[in-house]
Amino acid sequence: MKAKIIITPKKAVLDPQGKTVQTALEHMGYTGVTGVHIGKYIEIDLAPGTDKAAASKALNDATHKLLSNPLIEDYRLEIE
Amino acid sequence: MNFSVLQFPASNCDQDAVHAVRLLGHSARLVWHKDAALGDTDCVIVPGGFSYGDYLRCGAIARFSPVMQAVKQFADNGGLVLGVCNGFQVLTEAGLLPGALIRNRDLQFHCENIFLKTATNDSPFTSQIPAGKILRVPIAHGEGCYFADEETLAKLKANNQILWQYCDATGNLTDTANPNGALQNIAGICNEKRNVAGLMPHPERACEPLLGSDDGKWIFESIFTALKNKTVAQVA
């Protein structure tokens, strides 16, 4: 069982990495790119048979407290 | 006065902080991050470095170290806490200071001397800084850009919580003088109660002329004066 968490910078926060990569893509000749945002991807392995609902609650809590900084980041969590 | 300087795995300015305090005539000792108690402490310094390798986010893991419970209680009781660089990051992650420190806007690690304008003398960390004096202090960081949302910034201004801002040699708050893109050139702030402060520059590295500047000593002198004048919060 696996939890997948995608963490992205909030739109209001300066993302110089994203801007730099966007510029690089443009220099490489790719057109039509209107924005690039660089985030984090975290995979958490869960013991087989873990209760999905309980895990979701615990992981949302963990993501709020540790895995992301709610001031500057948004996140999406899925468990499969 | 007794200063407790925290030590996390990969803190690297802890010895500098101890040295600076002792040089200026007071006692300082290191407190390992796993210790649950601070002991006899008048002021806590959360030092610079790369605690936990800056993994996940700077200070994100250190804030959960056992000693931080004691620091939080010490701060809640009115004790003075100063976070320097990574220490500032730890304090924002711990919620003891508002806002966050993000990647420098030019993506470069900046290791250089900067100038600081003291925005207010009304705090235990700035009271002794001579009026109008521009402090020359080194910075060394890759994630020092202070960020807070509009509401928080408005509150910081209204409550006079901005303590130091990056400026040029004559005290102007210019964009060129801002090494990392910090909003409003903010280099350091304090909390609402004014007993917890954080700043990205390193005053502990600017306490003796041999190192190029002793302007940092004014921040420590302010703390010494505040401690002399107030009832100290003791945590057993």
Say which CATH number the domain at A7 has. Answer: 3.30.1280.10
Domain ranges, residue A12: 2-79
B106 CA: distance to closest CA in chain A (Å): 7
The answer to whether residue B28 scores a pLDDT higher than 90 is: yes
Measured in residues, chain A has a length of 80
User: Tokens for B36?
Assistant: 């649950």
Amino acid B176: pLDDT: 98
Are B103 and A17 within 8 A, CB to CB? yes
Q: Is B110 noted as a catalytic residue in this protein? A: no
Q: Is B85 noted as a catalytic residue in this protein? A: yes
The answer to whether residue B232 scores a pLDDT higher than 60 is: no
Using an 8 Å CB-CB cutoff, list residues of chain B that contact chain A: 56-57, 60-61, 64, 93, 99-100, 102-107, 145, 147-149, 181
User: Tokens for B235?
Assistant: 């945590």
Considering only residues B134 and B233, tell me which one the structure prediction assigns the higher pLDDT: B134
The DSSP output letter for A40 is: E
Output the DSSP codes for chain B. -EEEEEE-TTB-SHHHHHHHHHHTT-EEEEEETT-S---S-SEEEE--B-GGGG-SSTTTTGGGSTHHHHHHHHHHTT-EEEEETHHHHHHHHTTSSSSEEE--TTSPPEEEEEEEEE--S-STTTTTSPTTPPEEEEEEESS-EEE--HHHHHHHHHTT-EEEEEE-TTS---STT-SS--GGGEEEEE-TTSSEEEESS-GGGSSBGGGTB-TTHHHHHHHHHHHHHSPPP---
The answer to whether residue B117 scores a pLDDT higher than 80 is: yes
Using pLDDT thresholds of 50, 70 and 90, give the confidence band for residue B230.
confident
- Chain segment A18-62, per-residue pLDDT in tens: 999 999 999 999 999 999 999 999 999 999 999 999 999 999 999
What number is the ipTM of this complex?
Answer: 0.90
| Cβ-nearest to A69 among B93, B104, B149 | B93
Q: Residue A38's closest CA among A5, A7, A75, A70?
A: A7
Structural domains in chain A (count) = 1
Residue B141, strand partner residues: B110
User: Tokens for B176?
Assistant: 């060129």
Give the Cα separation of B4 and B199 in Å (integer): 18
| Cβ-nearest to B64 among A17, A66, A69 | A66
Amino acid B182: pLDDT: 98
**B78-87, B158-167, B200-209, B222-231, range with the lowest pLDDT:** B222-231
A69 touches chain B (CB under 8 A): yes
Please give the helix or strand (H or E) that residue A61 lies within, else none: helix A52-62
A7 touches chain B (CB under 8 A): no
The answer to whether residue B231 scores a pLDDT higher than 80 is: no
With a pLDDT cut of 90, the percent of chain B lying above it is 97
- pTM for the predicted model, two decimal places: 0.95
The answer to whether residue B130 scores a pLDDT higher than 90 is: yes
The answer to whether residue B233 scores a pLDDT higher than 70 is: no
Amino acid B122: pLDDT: 98
Q: Looking at beta carbons, which residues of chain B come within 8 Å of A17? A: 103, 107
**Neighbour tally for B159: CB within 10 Å:** 13
The answer to whether residue B234 scores a pLDDT higher than 80 is: no
The answer to whether residue B103 scores a pLDDT higher than 50 is: yes
With a pLDDT cut of 70, the percent of chain B lying above it is 97
Select the residue from A7, A14, A20 to test the B interface by mutation, using most B Cβ atoms within 10 A. Answer: A14
Domain ranges of chain B: 2-229
Using pLDDT thresholds of 50, 70 and 90, give the confidence band for residue B236.
very low
Q: Which fold has domain B2-229?
A: Rossmann fold (3.40.50)
The answer to whether residue B144 scores a pLDDT higher than 80 is: yes
Amino acid at A80: E
- Chain segment B31-87, per-residue pLDDT in tens: 999 999 999 999 999 999 999 999 999 999 999 999 999 999 999 999 999 999 999
